[in-house]
Structure 1
Amino acid sequence: MKHVFALTGWGVAIVAAWTCAPAFAADDFAQRFALQLDEGAAHYSMTLPAAVYAASQRSDLGDVRIFNGAGEPVPYSLDAPREPARTPPTLRPARWFPLPSTAAKSAGAPLGVTIAGDGSLRATSAPPSRAQHDTDVIDTGRLSRTSRVSALLVHLRDDNYQGRVGVEASDDLRHWQPAGDAQLLKVSYNGSTLSQDRIELGGTPARYLRLRWLDGAPYVDSMEMEVQALAVEPVQRAERAWREGIVAHAGVKPGEYFFNTGGPYPVDRLRLNLPQPNTVAPAVVYSRSGLEAPWREVAGAMLFRLHNGAVEQSNPSLELTPDADRQWRVVVDTRNGGLGSGALTIAAGWRPATLTFAARGAAPFTLAVGSAATASAAVSRSELLMGASAVPATARLGDALSAEQAASAQVASHNPDAMRRYLLWAALLLAVGSLGAIAWRLARRAQVRAGVASGGVSGGVSGGSAGSGVASATTHDAATGDTNGQGGNG
């Protein structure tokens, strides 16, 4: 029975050691990066660079880990960029005033307009001729403190126009600041109209806007302001990162192109750069997560690249819902020649996630990534900081580490994961050795018992025969003795 208890104890020990082993080891990741930290902070935060996305093997970045100098994983949070809650913008008619080229040089109010007591503008002269017209001033009116002009929509009367426009903003018509620029386009194509009439402004709060036409002023039919309400809680977002120069390769079917982003980037912008100027073609963009997954349509667009003298205009970036798929497909309508010869190139843009971690243990700290079998261990940022008053210090991603550098940065002898594996193997070998010793002892004891049992049976049989002989001899001797005795007596 004690052998049964011993075997059960060893089994429990082995199972406990196995279940206590970590789900991943510190050396199970394909890539490691050194981290550069300022000394003394309890928490650090960093915006994940493109190199981390490129090395990740999971679409959710679940294989990102932070290790300290002893090889221990430390707590961390991983926060995807959060878009602020936005109400739909409203469109308002814009009041604009065409001005001559000399208007911008005036010290006070531009020539051709005057300022009323409430700040509104009034025209004081007839609009200039087109040859003299190169500037427009827009009066945005009184906006509430919680709203901004996010864009201008310039509706052109011309059927064919290509030109650049610069935008400046001011509150007093004297001091002007750059507020944006754009290329406007309106051309007829295959019986339809191709138009690009939007000027992004980024939410300027200025009362007046000035449009400076760099390639000649167009005939403007109307203008509208896109007024956007500000978010109640401003959200700080990381600047959009771009991966440029992705080359698409042609597929088997005409007009079909494929490309790979090279990582689980949460792409929300795509710029499709056409190989040849004076190209216009409708296209549909698809994506999928893997070779076995079906294609999913994500966007449709009219692609164009038009050249007019010194002005060249291209289709704007496609705006997408963040998409971490790696494989992409573009299908171009080839009825009018498609894209022609040359390579289609792509630029992918995304807003990177923010990683925050607790600086537990000693330096050096490293970031590990690249393990498809590893699941995310991130906690929420609020749980990680636990009400800490100090703002996390900034961490910076250093150089990629080679295998030798990673081994020297985190010594295996101080690695609790490695120690657990060594203990597991030691326990397993000890259990196997103990089982072998027990089996040998049992076999030895069984052999001894078998020998003893065999010796006892043989001795009993021989002893019985010998006893019979002795008994017979005794009887014979007794008879003889008696006889002899009788003879002797006689």
Structure 2
Amino acid sequence: MKRMMMGFCASLVALVAQAGEAPPPVVTQWYGLTVSGTGPYYRMRLPPEIYAASQRSDLGDVRILNGAGEQVPFSLEAASVPAPIQRAVLAPVNWFAVPTAARTAGQGRLGVLLGADGSLRAELGAPAAPRASDDTVLVDLGREAAVSALRIHLRGAQYQGRVRVESSADLTQWHAVGEAELLNASANDKQLRQERVALEGLRQRYLRLSWPDGMPEIAEIASETLLAEPVAGSGAAPLRWQAAAQVRAGSQAGEYVFASGGVYPVESLRIDLPQPNTIAKVSLQSRDDAKAAWRGIATGTAFRLQGKSGEERSAPLQFEATSARDWRILVDMRNGGLGSGLPQVSLGWRPAQLTFVARGSAPFRIGAGNAALTAVAQPTGELLMGAHPETGIATLGVRLPMAQEKEPRIAASARHIVLWMTLILAVATLGGIAWRLARSKPTDASQ
């Protein structure tokens, strides 16, 4: 009898432990899955609805269930794109020194003529070389191309000074682009040069250079264009673009804040300025939530310029993929900022590859939306067991109603109730046995 009681008590303890367990956490949004093919594996690019529903930056709350409500194994493989190989191409450009006196007096003859095709030519009788009184240089890039930098090759042994750069599409309206320090020094048969002026992909045909510290002796000016050559055979998913949510002005001048609307792995950001003929230096920052500190993501120049061939806009900012939700743009206000209106922001991201095993019967469904869940996705290599099995295609269906979203919780609650009922019955049975043992002891003693 003693052994029986000990075994019963052990069973009772196990039941109590099971009854005390909290129901497993569930996700808040479920979507149906449609599968085609023979399987046993199915693949899909993770849709934006799941990125919007997920509450974890690593997508650890994603779950896939079969028709019986059982979890099925799956893997998530983040999209990766090898960085393109960039090659700098230099091309000599036409440039012309402009006399200071003619420019300040507003004379029409500056020693430069504008051809019918838009090219600049030296006027007959204009000096062939820059003079000491010249402090401005006009540069004709030849076409409106994305120029990454200007290379100003200097003559002479010694020069150190600043150059300021302005751009224009029609030689009448000029916009400040930037400033750089040039250096040409030599000593002990060694030479030190700094002749590059960064333009960050500016698309304007004409440039105007001015020299606050005095004009150097220029040998040649060349444009630098970066050619990006993608790595062949990468097989990466194409970039998807979507508008940022809730773009609004921040608390300080030149601050614009917005939200991504999900845990999208953003790797590129496009800024469409509100007013034409605008150039501004911008800094991009992000954070995971309102309690976290802002961290720098990228810097660059945003522009929107009206030219003869149409409107030119700056290329998107590119950076390492991040799943932050909160973003902000800080604009350098020294040149007037963006003017009136709000910028339009688009986020570029690549979806992860999802692969799951079709264990059990259909219909399958996918869900996300609970930060308390732990990640259960497996590495793709382990899921496929190193083989190359047949793989079908899965597509996202409609969002399931709330009743189906609560099915896992209802099942857990029913199990919880059954355990408690079993526990109560066990306690009653134990009490009955104890009562019978207590009554039988006097009888045994009398015998």
Normalising by structure 1, what TM-score? 0.61
Give the letter for the 1:75 counterpart.
P
Alignment CA distance shift 1:431-1:160 (3 Å): closer
SS for the counterpart of 2:338 is coil
Q: Report if aligned partners of 1:255, 1:333 keep a CA contact under 8 Å in 2.
A: yes
1:391-423 Cα offsets, whole Å, 9 max, x none, are 52221112212124657xxxx6xx7x9666644
Secondary structure of the 1:248 match is strand
Q: Which amino acid aligns with 2:176?
A: Y
Judged with a 3 Å threshold, the aligned counterparts in structure 2 of structure 1 residues 38 and 154 are, in CA distance, closer, same or farther, namely same
Partner of 2:381: 382
Q: Distance in 1 between matches of 2:46 and 2:225?
A: 36
2:58 aligns with 60
Superposition map of 1:422-441 within 5 A: 422-439=414-431
Q: Which residue number in structure 2 is paired with residue 258 of structure 1?
A: 257
Question: What displacement does 1:89 show?
Answer: 3.8
How do 1:2-401 residues align onto structure 2 when only pairs under 5 Å count? 2-15=4-17, 24=24, 28-84=26-82, 89-93=86-90, 130-131=115-116, 160-162=167-169, 188-189=175-176, 192=179, 195=199, 197=201, 222=222, 226=226, 231=231, 234-244=233-243, 246-308=245-307, 311-401=310-400
Q: 1:188 to 1:45 in 2, by over 3 A?
A: same
Cα pair distance change 1:307/1:198, threshold 3 Å: closer
**C-alpha separation between the residues in 2 aligned to 1:227 and 1:194?**
15
Counterparts in 2 of 1:325 and 1:269: CA distance versus 1, 3 Å: same
On the 8 A contact 1:67/1:74 being kept in 2, the answer is yes
Q: Deviations over 1:135-193 (max 9, x none)?
A: xxxxxxxxxxxxxxxx9858679963449xxxxxxxxxxxxxxxxxxxxxx96417648
Deviation, 1:354, is: 0.7
Mapped partners of 1:281, 1:223: distance in 2: 22
Deviation at 1:329?
1.8
Q: 1:448 to 1:309 in 2, by over 3 A?
A: same
Q: Residue type matched to 1:339 in 2? A: L
Question: 1:270: how far off?
Answer: 0.8
Asked whether the equivalents of residues 44 and 395 of structure 1 are also in contact (C-alpha less than 8 Å), the reply is yes
Are 1:280 and 1:305, in contact at CA under 8 Å, matched by a contact in 2? yes
Deviations 1:343-402 (A, max 9, x none): 222101111111011111111111111111111111111111124334522211122121
Taking only the aligned residue pairs, the percentage that are identical comes to 33
Distance in structure 1 (CA, Å) of the matches to 2:393 and 2:202 = 37
Which runs of 5 or more structure 2 residues have no equivalent in the other structure?
A: 94-113, 120-144, 153-164, 180-196, 209-219, 443-447
Which protein has greater RCO, CA pairs closer than 8 Å, 6+ apart? 2
Measure how far apart 1:54 and its partner are: 0.6
Cα distance in 2, alignment partners of residues 229 and 342 from structure 1? 37
Q: Is the 2:304–2:314 contact (alpha carbons within 8 Å) kept by the matching residues of 1? A: yes
In 2: Cα distance, 1:282 partner to 1:386 partner: 50
Q: 2:168, 2:206 within 8 Å by CA — same for their partners in 1?
A: no
The equivalent of 1:468 in structure 2 is: none
Q: Which moved more, 1:31-40 or 1:321-330?
A: 31-40
Contact kept, 8 Å, 2:277 with 2:305, in 1: the verdict is yes
Letter in 1 for 2:116: A
Larger displacement relative to structure 2 (215-224 or 236-245): 215-224
8 Å CA contact retained: 2:284, 2:297? yes
Evaluate the alpha carbon distance shift between residue 190 and residue 265 of structure 1 in structure 2; reply closer, same or farther with a 3 A threshold: closer
What's the offset of the Cα at 1:323? Answer: 0.9
Partner Cα separation in structure 2 for residue 224 and residue 305 of structure 1: 21
Measured at CA, do residues 235 and 371 of structure 1 come closer, stay the same or move farther in structure 2, by a change above 3 Å?
same
3-state SS of 2:333 partner: coil
Offset of residue 438 of structure 1? 3.3
| 1:85–1:247 distance in 2 versus 1, CA, 3 Å | closer
Matched AA of 1:429: M
Find the aligned partners of 1:277 and 1:93 in 2 and give their Cα distance: 30
User: Any unmatched runs of 5+ in structure 1?
Assistant: 97-128, 135-150, 164-185, 200-214, 451-490
Query: Which deviations, in whole Å up to 9, do the C-alpha atoms of 1:50-70 show, x marking residues without a partner?
Result: 111111111011111211111
Structure 1 residue matching 2:252: 3-state secondary structure: coil
Paired with 1:153 and 1:315, the residues of 2 have a C-alpha distance of 11
Distance in 2, matches of 1:94 and 1:266, equals 37
Q: Quick check: 1:162–1:311 contact (8 Å CA) kept in 2?
A: no
Corresponding position of 1:485: none
Deviates more, 1:272-281 or 1:291-300: 272-281
Residues 247 and 343 in structure 1, CA contact (< 8 A), matched pair in contact too: no
Displacement of 1:91 in angstroms is 3.2
Q: Cα distance, 1:37 vs. partner?
A: 1.4
Q: Is the 8 A contact 1:187 1:194 kept in 2?
A: no
Letter in structure 1 aligned against 2:318: E
Q: Distance in 2 between the 1:325 and 1:406 partners?
A: 27
Looking at structure 1, the residues matched to 256 and 230 of structure 2 have their Cα atoms a distance apart, in angstroms, of: 40
RMSD: 4.1
The more displaced of 64-73 and 249-258 is 249-258
Q: CA 1:441–1:197 in 2, change beyond 3 Å: closer, same or farther?
A: closer
Larger Rg belongs to: 1
- Shift in alpha-carbon separation, 1:245–1:330, aligned structure 2, 3 A: closer
1:95-119 superposed Cα distances (whole Å, 9 cap, x missing partner): 99xxxxxxxxxxxxxxxxxxxxxxx
Instruction: Identify if the C-alpha distance between structure 1 residues 4 and 405 changes in structure 2 by more than 3 Å, giving closer, same or farther.
Output: closer
C-alpha contact (below 8 Å) 2:39/2:392 kept by paired residues: yes
Q: Measure the CA separation in 2 of the matches of 1:83 and 1:423.
A: 47
Write the distance in 2 (CA, Å) between the matches of 1:63 and 1:18: 24
Alpha-carbon distance between aligned partners in 2 of 1:230 and 1:90, rounded to the nearest angstrom: 11
| Displacement of 1:341 | 2.3
> How do 1:461-476 residues align onto structure 2 when only pairs under 5 Å count?
none
* 1:361–1:194 Cα change, 3 Å: same
After TM superposition, give the deviation of residue 133 of structure 1 in Å.
8.2
Q: Which residue of structure 2 aligns with residue 121 of structure 1? A: none
Cα pair distance change 1:281/1:389, threshold 3 Å: closer
